[in-house]
Structure 1
Amino acid sequence: MRPRRRKQAGPALNRLWSTFFIVLACAVVPLVLVFGVEFIQRGNLHETWAWLIQNPKLFTMNALLDLFVFLLIYALLGNLLPSVALSILLLCSMSFISYFKVKLIGEPFFPWDIFLNKESMNVLPLVTNQSALLRIGTMLGAVFVLLLMSFLLPRLRLRIKTRVAVGLVAVFAVYSFGVNAPWASRFMDRMGANEIVWNQSENYGNNGMALAFTMNVKNAIVPKPAGYDEPTMANLAQMLMMNQSGLQTASAKADPFNGKQPNVIFIMSEAFWDPTLLPNVTFSEDPAPTVHRLQQESTSGYLLSPQFGGGTSNVEYEVLTGQSMSFLPAGSVPYQQYISQPLPSLAGYFEEQGYKSMAIHSYEGWFWNRENVYKEMGFESFMSKDQFSNPQYKGDFISDDEVANSIIQQVDSTDKPMFIYTVTMQNHGPYDDQRYGSNPIQVEGNLTPEAKDTLETYTQGVQDADASLQKLIDHFDETGEPTVIVFYGDHLPMLGYDYDVYTQAGFIQTGKSQDWTLEELKKMHSVPFVTWSNVDLPQEQLPVLSNSFLGAYMLSHMGMQLPETLAYNVELSQKMPGMLRNLVVDANQNLYPAVPDSLKEDVDKYRQLQYDGLFGKQYLAKYIGSPYLQQNVLPNYNQEFVEKAPVDEDIDGSLNASGEENPN
């Protein structure tokens, strides 16, 4: 009987050891994951260790979240070592993405970045340097070793009933923390979690990546503003109609266009900014003579962009709709997430006025979902990269000069007045590729050779953008066809990791955006805009204006009838010309980190108007019979290009992955 007992004791002992190793893995793996993720995220061992020591509760909270992710993967795979490997691959990859996003554009990895399908591939060329490859290689090496060990060591499987139970618990926990269930919210509060929605870099730095990422999941759903209901919107509609009538009466003026409808051309030049603003740098010649001349001769100023270094579509969204990114989750992309039905925009407004509205972008039509969004915004047509016939390239992208030629060709071949919204591509980053071979404009200053090369490449793109603007001015000046041009950048360029060129040149004092003063924050989001017209228009200088107010401002500036919601934008901009999520500029140019009490009521109305049109029940359109608020998709959208055969067959259409804006 003794041999039989020893034989029975063997499996029992093995199960005991298996249970011990599984429990040990569940205790150790989350701790190692938190350390690894935070080390990657912070890029510094000292900062990582300091955060762990100073925030034991937050460290534990992050470990608990990583544990639930690990348990969910373990329940699905049922094998310990492959589950550890996949957990490392998943969480460390997210941390790498967040690290490089912060380095490039100052924003971490958000839950909704997962839905940036092909767009996300455009960050790859920016992270293929030796240091990045070494980090990524180390992670992949660890994953490979674990997978190899899984073939040599016992599999440590879970029983099917245990797997189901563990999986359900993990799903429940992850879901509860993600949607901020009451019990989960109370638990996170006790663990010291403090969400900083308005500054996501600080949010991730203080709370840790796993916790900050989880807290952001609920932010993918935009909450209904307090007080939003039909009676409130009915009262607001009545107020808007009264205010619009008063505004139009007060601003009534002689028609500067003598009854003719001018072409209205908006040109959003990729990453256009004025590098001569860098204080400790000189240039061998003026890189932007046209813009500098227009700043003296015509209406001009600075736009307060919601973006830095990328996210062009969010700037488009603000300009075209008059709505603000400040009311949406940090890092969200309305073109990808929210716009799936007709939305009032400048395109629909000009169509209703008898214009032909066209969008022109010298890159792929699918990028940022533009081909679908422009349709919902009421554009008649969209000319993307595929519709350029044998275009000239500068570097990897269609040149700004080629875009100017397309604008001229479209206006000259159309009998109707045109509203054209143009997005260029030539001067897209990164700028360390020496894309032009040599740069005529030389930069002098206390810069490293790498920073000097980056700045000179960027400056050459600025010069080409400026020259393309002058080309348009010369053409319409010669033809005399009434035309208004609005030219501006979408955001400041990303000039090296950690705002390298900006700090070396003394434009800002630190490469850590969470440490910027309000004045530095304003500078890093202020892009120049200039206007030109061959008709005499009033000249004004605007020290700051949010992108969301630009469309309304220009309609008013040209003496055009404003829809009710855009009339409110004009009214609000006179009290608060600038608004970002973490910066407000009032009429006296005072800076605030949040909306001051004196402006909260006005901003709340602005928020309700936006929510009603984008997410709500469109009560406003019910009470205001404005065609602007009741826009529909045009039945002939893009028909002129859809019916044409593909062109540009001699040009290699496969651009490298440096693509368009970095995802954020």
Structure 2
Amino acid sequence: MNTRRRFPKCRLPLPLTLLAAVLLAGCITLLALWCQPNALRVVLTHFKAQPLLIVLNALPIGLLLLMFTCLFRNVFFGAALVNFSVCALSIANRIKIEVRDEPVFPRDLGLLKEVGSAMTTYDIHFPWAAIAVVIVTTLLLVILGVFIGCKPFPIARLRGWLGSLLGAAASLAVLTGLIFTVYASNALYNSFRVSNAYYVPAVFNELGFPYCFTHHFTTYPVDKPHGFSKAQAEVWEKGSLAENQGKAVNVVMVMNEAFSDISDHAAFDYGQADDPLPNLHALQTDPHALTGHVVVPGFAGGTANTEFDVLTGIQTNALSATTTSALRVVNRDLDSLFRVYGADGYRTSFFHPGDDWFYNRENVYRWLGAEETVFADQMTDLEYKGRWVTDDYMADLVEQEFEETVAAGKKLFHYTTTIQNHMSYTADKYGEGYHYPAVPLKVSVSDQVRTMLEVYMEGARDADAMLGRLRDYFAGRSEPVVLVFFGDHLPYLGDNQLGYRELGFTEEPNWSELTSYETPYVIWANDAAAEALDWKNAVNDLDLQETVSASFLGAAVVELTGRETAWSAFLNSLRREAPVVQKEAYLLADGTITGAPEQALTDNILQWRQWSYYKLKYQEFEE
């Protein structure tokens, strides 16, 4: 049977084909936007105020449509495939936001196994009306393709498969180029007005799924290390594990927002009477305490990156040659301290008095293995000091968590990230008319810097008070407890390190390499824990240096409490060789700083990177 006679075909000339492609791309874009969680009229309102968003959303769809039009030699067949693919992603984005409060990213395309698991884990309400509309429009486009084709290309040499492949390749090349230039631009992405730039699902809803999805092809990268071998990493992971060595002590870790000891610097003139950090200083001479500094991933910011480094032993700064957000690269189960202690039957929990969607913590901590997560919306009777929940309130929650765990007959591994001393340090932070004690200085600073210091030190005093409160509370308990208290990063004191320059910090050796990333740490054991751990001998064996990378801190706590995994043993061995690895600066065990380590250390650091990549991408855990 001659199908051409049965289905007479209208053929569009090239100009009409291109016009049809433009119109179809626009329609597919609108349908994809309609499939988003929020109303289409809301999206179009944002687009009306920022017209460039129309182009940025439609352009990748149009280029994909051209590519498949060239391959199929039919604009409607190409539109059918693009319509189905783009709208299916948009619907998946809607479902993922509704179920996990997180949009679909390009990296999710490689997680089909995890998607299949999620389908059975969550109570998913499928938007059947949107699915039906997408299927019907796709079928209509296929039917149109049956009856309407395209006339041969005007240039005879390009009418065959060579022309089709060249046209498709050209369209793909243009799209790829745009992804790595225009769509990769953070400056452009951040220039658009949104209701909450830190709430990623809202950004997707307001800027349009096609644009945001395309932008995130180049965000949160994880580079594959040179020479990576999955098989070799599996051998490392299956290395000998010490069993049943863990001491039955509770572990409470508190990462305090912007906690630092900058007030110990020579530029300040504090005395014993007005010391803002009396509890930290007291613990520095406590026989049951280890104190020093951790070198964190970022300067004056990057709280979540420090969480990641401490909990996983993986370094944020080594994930990619470009800047990335560590918690944003996590999209599957990952090894962490929660899993180490959870495997010993501990109750594991994470508290943070912020929004659960910020840095995607709600999902990430589940992937890290935390048994319980509690965020601001789950906390009752929140106590604020100015804009943020107080450290004292969080200390109360930590104590409650400990008492509930003890009452349940279990041991506790707990991690809290506080928020009170978060920037900005402006005079109105704690409310109009709040009186800040003067900061005694030996140097002259601008009024702007003086205000920031006064506001910041008020928060530092409260942080130190939290440290003292927890120490006193656990000192009075008969249950063994190890308390780990440290800062996530130095405070932000103005653009271009303004406050640090005026105080004289930036003139000191190694400021940019190491000291600009240092915050204090305290590891303290109450009497019961000191006895259980044989504190003096345990500390001697631990050989914990005064200054260590944040990625080594968690492994050091694992060793201190009598535990060992192949990963923690490797990290502790590397720490003893090079206590600090910070980008291209290495602090060696003998105290020297180098940018060119010997080959043996270079090889060990490369193994660290390769093993980290395996954990992020391939390591599996039993349910």
Same fold, TM-score > 0.5, yes or no: yes
* Cα pair 2:505 2:511 within 8 Å, conserved: no
- CA-to-partner distance for each residue in 1:283-331, whole Å, 9 max, x for gaps? 3611111111112222111101011121111111111111112321232
Give the deviation of 1:173 after TM superposition: 4.7
- CA-to-partner distance for each residue in 1:580-629, whole Å, 9 max, x for gaps? 223221112222336543411111111111111112x33xx6xxxxxxxx
Which residue number in structure 2 is paired with residue 452 of structure 1? 450
Q: Pick from 541, 551, 559 the counterpart of residue 556 of structure 1.
A: 559
Structure 1 residues 230 and 541, CA gap change in structure 2 (3 angstroms): closer
Structure 1 residues 602 and 380, CA gap change in structure 2 (3 angstroms): same
Q: Give 1:68-217 correspondences, 5 Å limit.
A: 172-173=173-174, 175-176=176-177
- CA-to-partner distance for each residue in 1:106-164, whole Å, 9 max, x for gaps? xxxxxxxx98xxxxxxxxxxxxxxxxxxxxxxxxxxxxxxxxxxxxxxxxxxxxx9xxx
State how far apart, in whole Å, the 1-side matches of 2:573 and 2:172 are. 48
Range moving further from structure 2, 310-319 or 582-591: 582-591
State how far apart, in whole Å, the 2-side matches of 1:426 and 1:488 are. 14
Q: Pick from 259, 268, 283 the counterpart of residue 281 of structure 1.
A: 268
Structure 1 residues 166 and 384, CA gap change in structure 2 (3 angstroms): same
Q: Pick from 425, 431, 450 the counterpart of residue 431 of structure 1.
A: 425
| 1:442 has 2:439 as partner | yes
State how far apart, in whole Å, the 2-side matches of 1:524 and 1:547 are. 14
Give the deviation of 1:475 after TM superposition: 1.2
* Cα pair 1:294 1:531 within 8 Å, conserved: no
State how far apart, in whole Å, the 2-side matches of 1:396 and 1:524 are. 27
Secondary structure at the residue paired with 1:282?
coil
Which residue number in structure 1 is paired with residue 136 of structure 2? none
Give the deviation of 1:480 after TM superposition: 2.3
Which residue number in structure 2 is paired with residue 227 of structure 1? 227
State how far apart, in whole Å, the 1-side matches of 2:58 and 2:525 are. 66
Structure 1 residues 503 and 170, CA gap change in structure 2 (3 angstroms): farther
Give the deviation of 1:277 after TM superposition: 3.2
* Cα pair 1:76 1:167 within 8 Å, conserved: no
- CA-to-partner distance for each residue in 1:233-284, whole Å, 9 max, x for gaps? 355456x42xx66xx99xx8xx8x6xxx222100000011112233222236
Q: Pick from 384, 389, 394 the counterpart of residue 385 of structure 2.
A: 394
Q: Which amino acid aligns with 1:442?
A: V
Which residue number in structure 1 is paired with residue 605 of structure 2? 603
Give the deviation of 1:230 after TM superposition: 4.4
Which residue number in structure 2 is paired with residue 533 of structure 1? 525
* Cα pair 2:339 2:369 within 8 Å, conserved: yes
Q: Which amino acid aligns with 2:607?
A: K
* Cα pair 1:265 1:483 within 8 Å, conserved: yes
Q: Give 1:470-481 correspondences, 5 Å limit.
A: 470-481=468-479
Structure 1 residues 403 and 176, CA gap change in structure 2 (3 angstroms): same
State how far apart, in whole Å, the 1-side matches of 2:284 and 2:611 are. 33
| 1:264 has 2:251 as partner | yes
Secondary structure at the residue paired with 1:281?
coil
Q: Give 1:350-499 correspondences, 5 Å limit.
A: 350-414=341-405, 415=408, 416-436=410-430, 437-444=434-441, 445-499=443-497
State how far apart, in whole Å, the 2-side matches of 1:434 and 1:315 are. 28
Please report the TM-score for the alignment, with normalisation by the length of structure 1. Answer: 0.57
| 1:308 has 2:310 as partner | no
Secondary structure at the residue paired with 2:269?
strand
| 1:547 has 2:550 as partner | yes
Which residue number in structure 2 is paired with residue 584 of structure 1? 586
Q: Give identity over the alignment, percent.
A: 29
* Cα pair 1:301 1:544 within 8 Å, conserved: yes
Secondary structure at the residue paired with 2:392?
helix
Give the deviation of 1:175 after TM superposition: 2.2
Give the deviation of 1:574 after TM superposition: 0.7
Which residue number in structure 2 is paired with residue 614 of structure 1? 616
Structure 1 residues 273 and 631, CA gap change in structure 2 (3 angstroms): farther
* Cα pair 1:518 1:592 within 8 Å, conserved: no
Q: Which amino acid aligns with 1:474?
A: D
Secondary structure at the residue paired with 2:461?
helix
Structure 1 residues 168 and 475, CA gap change in structure 2 (3 angstroms): same
Structure 1 residues 595 and 313, CA gap change in structure 2 (3 angstroms): farther
- CA-to-partner distance for each residue in 1:408-465, whole Å, 9 max, x for gaps? 0111122211111000000000102342311135333311111111001101101001
Structure 1 residues 454 and 608, CA gap change in structure 2 (3 angstroms): same
Give the deviation of 1:217 after TM superposition: 7.5
Structure 1 residues 74 and 373, CA gap change in structure 2 (3 angstroms): closer
State how far apart, in whole Å, the 2-side matches of 1:341 and 1:287 are. 42
* Cα pair 2:335 2:368 within 8 Å, conserved: yes
Secondary structure at the residue paired with 1:296?
coil
Structure 1 residues 429 and 170, CA gap change in structure 2 (3 angstroms): farther
Which residue number in structure 1 is paired with residue 284 of structure 2? 295
Q: Which amino acid aligns with 2:267?
A: N
State how far apart, in whole Å, the 2-side matches of 1:343 and 1:75 are. 36
Q: Greater relative contact order (Cα 8 A, min sep 6): structure 1 or 2?
A: 1
- CA-to-partner distance for each residue in 1:145-200, whole Å, 9 max, x for gaps? xxxxxxxxxxxxxxxx9xxx9999797356248669xxxxxxxxxxxxxxxxxxxx
Secondary structure at the residue paired with 1:602?
helix
Secondary structure at the residue paired with 1:451?
helix
State how far apart, in whole Å, the 1-side matches of 2:566 and 2:548 are. 20
Q: Which amino acid aligns with 2:603?
A: E
Q: Which amino acid aligns with 2:366?
A: K
Structure 1 residues 349 and 469, CA gap change in structure 2 (3 angstroms): same
Q: Which amino acid aligns with 1:475?
A: Y
Q: Give 1:642-653 correspondences, 5 Å limit.
A: none
Structure 1: unaligned runs, 5 residues or longer: 1-68, 78-113, 116-160, 181-213, 510-515, 622-629, 633-664
- CA-to-partner distance for each residue in 1:202-258, whole Å, 9 max, x for gaps? xxxxxxxxxxxx9x97685434323322443355456x42xx66xx99xx8xx8x6x
Secondary structure at the residue paired with 1:390?
coil
Which residue number in structure 2 is paired with residue 648 of structure 1? none
State how far apart, in whole Å, the 2-side matches of 1:492 and 1:441 are. 20
Structure 1 residues 231 and 406, CA gap change in structure 2 (3 angstroms): closer
Secondary structure at the residue paired with 2:476?
helix
Secondary structure at the residue paired with 1:314?
helix
* Cα pair 1:343 1:376 within 8 Å, conserved: yes
- CA-to-partner distance for each residue in 1:84-124, whole Å, 9 max, x for gaps? xxxxxxxxxxxxxxxxxxxxxxxxxxxxxx98xxxxxxxxx
- CA-to-partner distance for each residue in 1:450-496, whole Å, 9 max, x for gaps? 11110011011010011011111111112222111000000111111
| 1:348 has 2:339 as partner | yes
Structure 1 residues 237 and 264, CA gap change in structure 2 (3 angstroms): closer
Secondary structure at the residue paired with 1:264?
strand
- Matched pairs, number: 416
Q: Which amino acid aligns with 1:293?
A: A
- CA-to-partner distance for each residue in 1:491-530, whole Å, 9 max, x for gaps? 1111111111111011113xxxxxx964442110011101
* Cα pair 2:223 2:319 within 8 Å, conserved: no
Structure 1 residues 220 and 387, CA gap change in structure 2 (3 angstroms): closer
Structure 2: unaligned runs, 5 residues or longer: 1-51, 61-103, 106-152, 154-165, 182-213
Range moving further from structure 2, 380-389 or 581-590: 581-590
State how far apart, in whole Å, the 2-side matches of 1:374 and 1:74 are. 32
Secondary structure at the residue paired with 1:303?
strand
| 1:508 has 2:506 as partner | yes
State how far apart, in whole Å, the 2-side matches of 1:502 and 1:391 are. 34
Q: Which amino acid aligns with 1:485?
A: L
Q: Which amino acid aligns with 2:578?
A: M
